[in-house]
Chain A
Amino acid sequence: MTDRDPLRYFRIEAAELVDQISAGVLDLDQQPSTEVVARLLRYAHTLKGAARVVKQPEIAEQAHAFEEVLVPHRDDASPLPADEMRELLRLNDAIAGRVAALSAPVQNQTADVRRGGAAQPQGAPHRANRPAPAPPPAGPAPMAPPLREGLAAEAAGPSKPAAPAGSSPHPATTAGRNPTPESAPHGEPATGSPAPEHTPAAGESAATEHTPAAGESAATEHTPAADGSATPEQAPAAESGAATERTPAADGSAAPGHAPESGAAAGRVVPAEGGAAPERAVTADLDELLDAIGEANSRIAPLREGSRTLATIHRRVETLGDRLRTGRIGGGDAVTRGSVQRLGADLGALGRRLIDAVDQVERELDEVRGRAEGLRLVPAGTIFTALRRAVRDAADAEGKRVRFHATGADVRMGPQLLNQVNGAFLHVVRNAVVHGIEPEPQRLAAGKPAEGSVTVHVERRGRWAEFRCADDGRGFDLDALRRTALERGLLSPGAEPDPRTLIDLVLHGGISTSPAVTDVAGRGIGMDVARDVADQLGGSVSIDNRPGLGATVLLVVPLTLLSMNGLLVEAGEHTVTMPLDSVRRCVRLSAEEITAAMDTGRLAHEGRVVPFLPLCRALHQETELTGTGVAIVLSADGETAAIGVDRLAGTTTLVARPLPDLAPAAPVIGSVSIDLDGNPRLVLDPHGLVAEARHISPTAGGQSTESNGRRMPILVVDDSLTTRMLERSILESAGYEVDLAASGEEGLEKARAREYGLILSDIDMPGIDGFAFVAETRADPTLSHVPAILVSSRATAEDRRRGTEAGASAYVVKGEFNQEELLSHIRRLILR
């Protein structure tokens, strides 16, 4: 194989090294240290050596030039001069471009398609006539590293372990790796000391920043340094011990004579090689899949055994038949009867064995299917390097210093979706740098650190993925927004729009149509892209503006496919799946305990009383729990609840998809998966279950189901029309009836005139403020039982304390304003 394609292993190794170099250069930019320099030198040197072996002189020369820039800084922890930094980035891009060009045509194609996808929002034709759109935040080259990010972890396995293999029978492989040990001297001087590589202040962010690049924590990145031996890079690949251990075998498959291994081993090598596309799974995932397949295979053995037993029984029946036919039933009926009885018993046993075996095979195949589907998903961290680079480039162009910090690299989602979000977020982070972060003097004058901060956080919430970009800059310029809006005729003259309204204008694309090229317009265009992506994906985008303190852009998109581990549970006739990651414990309950829990709606668990919800009831079933059962203790939204089920039926790996259109479901249902027979299986939503358990619990069971149908209306008190409308639309879409009041006084009047299930109030309002309003409702015996939630842009602990003192049941910060959070508060609190 190697003979046919001499570049085969080089491609893997080079792609991996390019990724490491790309991440390392950005590290160096943010936290210069001798360790990073040493690491980069090692990578560049390895790449140079490998490139020469496979006759890629251009790459070797560029790697050499890269080294030349770094060598003077080997023992120098101070930052590189800006021009040298720029040169490193240029060389990095050039090398990345060349390495990408080496990829096989198929991979190129994939990469192009994906790149096109990512670039699409900014290149969309309808945007061409927009005034001076922000230049693409990152050219194709910076895009390249994320395309291969997944490989950083996976390719390390197959390619690196060859290095120690001086014994490898394959000359090409050995030769290709020989340069690696040479690189050690570069690494050693700096890395000989096990001193922490980062300054204490930078340590924390560095750790997170590394996560995406290596797919592992910074800890693994340290390992090669400490090691410094011929196989320094092995450690980053250590997704799991197993992954690294196995890969030598995989490499061995290139050599003849490893025939027994080659089947499975090739399976591991091939995906690694094709890893140029980001959707390729990391080695550990493939290993798990292969394990699952192996397990399923091994379950076939009993079936084979069974078929042999069946053959024996068949022979015996034939013998018996012969004897019956020829009338040679010597010894009378007793022998025949005995014979038939034995046959019957054997058949029965065989039947049971077969059923067991089939059950097991089925479970294992379920597992295989789930894992295979999971391979379609990629970790969010794969876009972080491109975002970092976009921030870096924008900061450089603007002459600003900006630190980039990203968390949530492990959240997995479909590559398509991630790609689109990447396209939007490149604009968003760039905007944050260009329009958000102030020039240094201004920052210092405002009492901020000279270095700006842009943070990207990715999180999965139920079947939604949240992408949050926060900066600590000046926030949106509301005055400029107001001016632009007035010029554009978006506001009637004399109107005094509140900040929310102005921000909404940005979100709804009104601002970016401004003919004048202004900062405001520029920022608007970035938001247009984000909004377009949100629209395409069926998600939403929102802005939290903190004037003078920064802004947060939140993009929430639905995850169409979501890989999860599930616990299969049975309740009545239903078999449903509970997402395993929210399950804390399972407790077996006796019949009496079940009865007590059903009667009280509560369960004592680890010294606490938690609400207890029988799953049958949550699923609106006629049947109730009887006899023994199991309580599944769940956590979601920081709350705990126990869900009663008949029995547990094992765990499974599954891919959950959204409920189809036209299928409105109870909030306890989150999504649906498809079982082996092709039938839908419901996946529960832990958030919904916890909320449901907390509703039902106070009513002490029994009556709860009747009250399910009726929801009491909600009163929204806010002086801002936009906020009122926003809250109303959120609540109405969640199925609540909503009344509105524009002031505290009007709120009191309305609250006394009608029975509400919940009151939602702003704090800053003309007339009585939210604190006073809530306090007044608490003092009124006719209203004191109606829970009140304060919703405000005030976020200080003092405000929260005042809210609690006034008697508010919850406090939601508009800044962190999040529909799901608001609704979960409401579900928890609302009276039925």
Chain B
Amino acid sequence: MSTVAGRLAELREDFDRSFADPVRRHDDEHVELLTIRAGGRPYALRLSQTSGLHPDRPVTPLPGPQPALLGLAGFAGQVVPVYDLAALLGHPVAERPRWLVLAGGNPPLGLAFHDLDGHVRAANADIVQEANDSDAAGSVRGMVGLPGGVRPIIDVPATRATVHALTGHQVTDQEAAR
């Protein structure tokens, strides 16, 4: 009985303290990461490079030349193309991804993945940079050591660049559309 009461008191205290704690701030020593799975593989995304995380968003399939393009989703009246991260990373799976993040920057772009493992704060020291960033190709930039293993970090701007390249984006999109 006493252990239950003790546990209860502890929980209550935790709960109360969570309000008293100052809001954690971003700082230079840490990065906020989303730990995700795309096509069954673990990855991490920098939260600061995204502008929204959405589960189960309806995506209207858009037939076209890009297999990685899942379709279009509506966000507050805006139509956003949604790409399958697993396909962009080169290991497409048949299963439709459940989650999507909105990539920061323009034009609007959604990146979809299958599972969300969580949201973690990692120390900068735990992040392993590529030996030479300028040589890096693809969407992965660096790795992060987390409990449960090391995850490659998907760089959102690099992923955006990949999508831009795939679609030949498109200063003269009116030409391409004709």
- Asked if A and B are interacting partners, one says yes
Which chain B residues (74-93) contact chain A, with CB distance < 8 Å?
A: 74-81, 83
B118 within 8 A of A: no
A661 within 8 A of B: yes
Residue in A538, A573, A657 whose Cβ sees the most chain B Cβ within 10 Å: A538
A667-702 contact mask (Cβ, 8 Å, vs B): 1 or 0: 011001010011111100000000000000000000
CA distance A679 to B71 in the complex (A): 11
B121 proximal to A (CB < 8 A): no
Q: Within 8 Å of chain A (Cβ to Cβ): is B167? A: yes
Chain A CB within 8 A of B69 CB: yes
Please tell me if A730 contacts chain B, counting CB pairs below 8 Å. yes
Answer whether residue B45 sits at the interface, using C-beta atoms and an 8 A cutoff: no
Main secondary structure of the interface of B (DSSP, over half): mixed
Cβ-defined contact, A669 with B178, below 8 A: no
* B107 interface hit (Cβ, 8 Å): yes
* Contact B173–A620 (Cβ < 8 Å): no
Q: How far is the CA of A679 from the CA of B72 in the complex (A)?
A: 8
- Interface positions, chain A 517-539, Cβ under 8 Å from B, are 538-539
Task: From A665, A666, A681, A730, name the one whose CB has the most chain B CB atoms within 10 angstroms.
Answer: A665
- Which residues from chain B contact A573 at a C-beta distance below 8 Å? 61
Tell me if A109 is interfacial: C-beta within 8 Å of chain B: no
* Cross-chain contact of A682 among B62, B109, B176, B178 (Cβ < 8 A): B62
**Chain B residues whose CB sits within 8 angstroms of the CB of A680 once the complex forms:** 60, 71-74, 79
> Do A823 and B169 touch across chains, with their CB atoms under 8 A apart?
no
Q: In the complex, what distance in Å separates the CA atom of A176 from the CA atom of B62?
A: 59
How many angstroms from the CA of A729 to the CA of B75 in the assembled complex?
34
Contact (Cβ within 8 A) B178 A662: no
Query: Which one, A621, A662, A664, A666, contacts B107 given CB within 8 A?
Result: A662
Encode A261-273 as 1/0 by CB contact (under 8 A) with B.
0000000000000
Query: Does B175 have its Cβ within 8 Å of any Cβ on chain A?
Result: yes
Contact between B178 and A823 (Cβ–Cβ < 8 Å)? yes
Number of interface residues of A (CB under 8 A): 38
Determine whether the beta carbon of A662 is less than 8 Å from that of B163: yes
Smallest Cβ-Cβ distance to A619: which chain B residue? B63
Bound CA span A677–B77, Å: 10
Q: Which of B79, B80, B172 is the one whose CB lies under 8 Å from A733?
A: B172
Q: Which residues of B101-117 are within 8 A (CB) of A?
A: 107-109
A449–chain B nearest beta-carbon distance, Å: 36
Interface centre among B58, B60, B107, B176 (most CB of A within 10 A): B60
Question: What residue in chain A is nearest B172 (Cβ atoms)?
Answer: A733
Within A646-669, which residues are at the interface with B (CB < 8 Å)? 657-666, 668-669
A681 and B60 in contact, given A657-B79, A663-B81 (Cβ under 8 angstroms): yes
**Is A669 within 8 A of B62, CB to CB?**
yes
Q: How far is the CB of A72 from chain B (nearest CB, A)?
A: 54
Chain A residue numbers with a CB within 8 Å of B81 are: 660-663
Residues of B within 8 A of A661 (CB): 81, 107, 167, 169-170, 173
Inter-subunit contact B79/A730 (CB<8 Å):
no
> Digit string of B144-171 for contact with A (CB within 8 Å is 1, else 0)?
0000000000000000000110010110
CB neighbors of A among B44-75 (8 A) = 58, 60-66, 69, 71-75
In-complex Cβ contact of B62 among A618, A621, A665, A677 (8 A)? A665
- The answer to the question of B174 belonging to the interface, with a C-beta cut-off of 8 Å to chain A, is yes
Q: Are A674 and B167 in contact (CB under 8 A)?
A: no
User: How far apart are the CA atoms of A659 and B170 in the complex, in Å?
Assistant: 13
Closest chain B CB from A555 CB (angstroms): 12
Q: A733-B175, A734-B178 are in contact. Are A666 and B64 (CB under 8 A)?
A: yes
Residues from chain A with Cβ under 8 Å of B169 in the complex:
661-662
Select one of B79, B170, B178 contacting A674, CB under 8 A.
B79
Q: Give the distance to chain A from B73, nearest Cβ to Cβ, in Å.
A: 7
Question: Which one of B65, B78, B174 contacts A539 once the chains associate, using CB atoms below 8 Å?
Answer: B174
Are B60 and A679 touching (Cβ within 8 A)?
yes
Whether a CB of chain B sits under 8 angstroms from the CB of A540 is yes
CA distance in complex: A735, B178 (Å):
10
A52 to chain B minimum Cβ distance, whole angstroms, is 50
**Known contacts A538-B173, A820-B178; is A660 also within 8 Å of B107 by CB?**
yes
Once A661-B169, A664-B64, A733-B176 are accepted as A-B contacts, the answer to whether A677 and B107 lie under 8 Å apart by CB is: no
Output the nearest chain B residue to A660 by Cβ-Cβ distance.
B79
Which of the residues A668, A679, A820 comes within 8 Å of B74, measured between beta carbons? A679
Q: Which residues of B contact A620 (CB under 8 A)?
A: 63
For B75, the chain A residues whose CB sits under 8 A away are: 678
A574 sits at the interface (CB 8 A): yes
User: What 1/0 mask marks residues of chain A from 463 to 488 whose CB sits below 8 Å from any chain B CB?
Assistant: 00000000000000000000000000
Taking A660-B80, A680-B72 as contacts, is the C-beta distance between A734 and B176 under 8 angstroms?
yes
A538 and B167 CA atoms in complex are apart in Å by 18
**B176 to nearest A CB, angstroms?**
5
Query: Do A558 and B64 have beta carbons less than 8 Å apart?
Result: no
**In the complex, residue of chain B having the shortest beta-carbon distance to the beta carbon of A557:** B174
Report B169 CB to chain A, min CB distance, Å: 6
> In the complex, are the beta carbons of A678 and B74 less than 8 A apart?
yes
Least CB separation from A539: chain B residue: B174
**A309 at the B interface (CB under 8 A):** no
Would you give the shortest CB distance from B21 to chain A, in whole angstroms?
A: 36
Which residues in A have their C-beta under 8 angstroms from that of B109? 662
Q: A78 on the interface (CB 8 Å rule)? A: no
Q: Is the CB of A819 within 8 A of B64?
A: no
CB proximity of A732 to chain B, nearest CB, Å: 9
Q: Is the CB–CB distance between B63 and A664 below 8 Å? A: no
CB-CB under 8 A for A538 and B174, given A660-B107, A674-B79, A678-B74: yes
Chain A residues 527 to 579 lying within 8 A of chain B, measured CB to CB, are 538-540, 558, 573-574
A660 contacts across to B, CB distance below 8 A: 72, 78-81, 107-108
Q: How far is the CA of A785 from the CA of B90 in the complex (A)?
A: 40
| A665, B108: Cβ atoms closer than 8 Å | no
Give the distance to chain B from A708, nearest Cβ to Cβ, in Å. Answer: 9
| Bound-state Cα–Cα, A823 to B174, Å | 14
- Bound-state CA distance A172–B27 (Å) is 72
Q: Closest B-chain residue to A572, C-beta based?
A: B61
Residues of B within 8 A of A538 (CB): 173-174
Given A672-B72, A679-B74, decide whether A663 and B62 contact each other with a Cβ distance below 8 A: yes
- Within 8 Å CB of A682, what residues of B? 60, 62, 72
* Chain A residues near B69 (CB-CB < 8 A): 663-664
Which residues of A are found within 8 Å of B80, using beta-carbon distances? 660
Q: Which residue of A lies closest to B77 (CB)?
A: A674
Chain B residues whose CB sits within 8 angstroms of the CB of A665 once the complex forms = 62-64
Q: Are B72 and A663 in contact (CB under 8 A)?
A: yes
Minimum CB–CB distance from A318 to chain B (whole Å) comes to 38
**Contact, CB under 8 Å: B178 / A729:** no
Q: Smallest distance from the beta carbon of B61 to chain A beta carbons, Å?
A: 7
Known: A669-B63, A674-B77. A729 touches B164 (CB 8 A): no
User: Complex formed: what's the CA distance from A428 to B107 in Å?
Assistant: 34
Contact yes or no, A664 B175, CB < 8 A: no
Min distance, Cβ A3 to any Cβ of chain B, angstroms: 42
Residue of A558, A660, A666, A730 contacting most chain B CB atoms (<10 Å): A660
Give Cα distance in the complex from A733 to B178, angstroms: 8
Instruction: Say whether A664 contacts B72, CB under 8 Å.
Output: no
Task: Write the chain A residue with the least CB distance to B69.
Answer: A663
Which B residues lie within 8 Å of A659 (CB)? 62, 72, 79, 177
Given A621-B63, A666-B63; 12 other pairs, CB 8 A cutoff: A538-B173, A538-B174, A558-B174, A660-B81, A661-B81, A662-B107, A662-B169, A662-B170, A669-B64, A672-B79, A678-B75, A733-B175
Residues on A close to B: CB < 8 A? 538-540, 558, 573-574, 618-621, 657-666, 668-669, 672, 674, 677-682, 729-730, 733-735, 819-820, 823
The 9 closest A-B pairs by CB, nearest first: A663-B81, A661-B107, A680-B72, A665-B64, A620-B63, A733-B175, A678-B74, A666-B63, A680-B60
A-B contact pairs, 26 of them (CB 8 A): A540-B174, A540-B175, A618-B63, A657-B79, A658-B177, A662-B81, A662-B107, A662-B109, A662-B167, A664-B167, A666-B65, A668-B63, A669-B63, A672-B72, A672-B79, A674-B77, A678-B74, A678-B76, A678-B77, A679-B60, A682-B72, A733-B175, A733-B178, A734-B176, A734-B178, A823-B178
